[in-house]
Amino acid sequence: MRRVILRAAPAALAALATLAALAVSALAAPARAESAGGWAVTYLDPVPAKWEPRATYTIGFWLLQHGTHPYVGRDLGRVALRFDDGEGTVLEFDAVELREPGHYAAAVALPGRTWRVEALQGWFMPYEIGTLTVPGSLKIEPIPEEFRRSIENQEPQDYWGEVRPPGFPRLAHKVPLPPRPSTTPAAAAVPSAASSGPTTAVVAEPEESWWRPPYAVAAGVLIGALALLALRRSRRLRGQGHAAFSRPPGGTGRP
């Protein structure tokens, strides 16, 4: 019986070590906006009533976290408009950030066909804008119901002047935006307007967030405590086994 117990103890410790490693991995993983409940909505500025094939259009849009306010964290990542014809052709047009908080613009030119339109919102999930027919017009999808309810439950917010997201009323008091955390390295210089090549934006990698899911912290503490208890039990069992072997066969060990 003693041998079975002593063999089981290292196995239990190995299992606990594996669980502890998993907990450490969870603690080390950077938190993403989605896992923290983050989401965003893209609102379009007025768009052309009719789109022509291969014509160039500049599309303005507003990327607002929780559908109500500009993102103010560290580098958001790539912002762009994506067009998918559902037959294997996907076109993406990078956006540039404008002066107004949360305001972007992208120049697009599309061949004639029907396109599913999405906004790429950095590390937020892509947002479905609608369906564009070229030649023809853009049909904008309504805001998803769960997003709409959340937006309605938030206090009205105003961060803008004359230029503002469509449908956002002016309020008596504007909400000041906190300063955006700096990122390193510095942003690349803006390409010259005379450049004939495609325009690309170079951004710094976002720094890892300090936020960790509370359950990961609790799991790490619990597993550490279990490992300590298992270690003490293993030592106690080894001591009992040593005492058993020191007794003479068939006796109690007393003279």
The token pair that represents 159 in the structure block: 């961060």
- 181-193 pLDDT tens trace: 555 444 444 444 4
Read off the pLDDT band of 176 (50, 70, 90). Answer: low
Report which secondary-structure segment, H or E, holds 70: strand 69-70
DSSP structural state of residue 110: -
Residue 144 sits at φ, ψ, to 5 deg, of -50, 145
The whole-chain average pLDDT of the chain stands at 75
Per-residue pLDDT at 100 exceeds 60: yes
Residue 158 sits at φ, ψ, to 5 deg, of -140, 120
Distance from chain centroid for Cα 65:
12
The token pair that represents 216 in the structure block: 């990961």
CATH 3.40.50.300, domain 37-204, yes or no: no
Lowest mean pLDDT among 4-8, 58-62, 102-106, 198-202: 198-202
Read off the pLDDT band of 247 (50, 70, 90). Answer: low
Q: Tokens 């606990």, residue?
A: 16
Read off the pLDDT band of 47 (50, 70, 90). Answer: very high
Report which secondary-structure segment, H or E, holds 145: helix 145-152
Report which secondary-structure segment, H or E, holds 62: strand 56-65
CA nearest 227: which of 6, 58, 1, 21? 21
Mean pLDDT on 67-81: 93
Contact (Cβ atoms closer than 8 angstroms) between residue 175 and residue 87: no
Geometric angle at alpha carbon 146, from 44 and 172, rounded to 5°: 60
Mean pLDDT on 86-102: 97
CA nearest 203: which of 187, 192, 191? 187
- Position 196 scores a pLDDT of 41
Q: Give CA–CA dist 228/226, Å, rounded.
A: 5
Mean pLDDT on 225-252: 64
- Position 104 scores a pLDDT of 98
Q: How many residues does the chain have?
A: 255
Mean pLDDT on 210-229: 55
Contact (Cβ atoms closer than 8 angstroms) between residue 9 and residue 248: no
- Position 224 scores a pLDDT of 67
Query: Within a 10 A sphere around the Cβ of 11, how many other Cβ atoms?
Result: 9
Mean pLDDT on 70-99: 96
Higher-confidence residue of 51 and 217: namely 51
- For residue 86, CA distances in Å to 89, 112, 131, 167 come to 7, 14, 11, 31
- Position 210 scores a pLDDT of 38
Per-residue pLDDT at 129 exceeds 60: yes
- 133-173 pLDDT tens trace: 999 999 999 999 999 999 999 988 899 999 999 999 888 76
- Position 228 scores a pLDDT of 74
Mean pLDDT on 54-66: 97
Higher-confidence residue of 58 and 170: namely 58
- Position 8 scores a pLDDT of 46
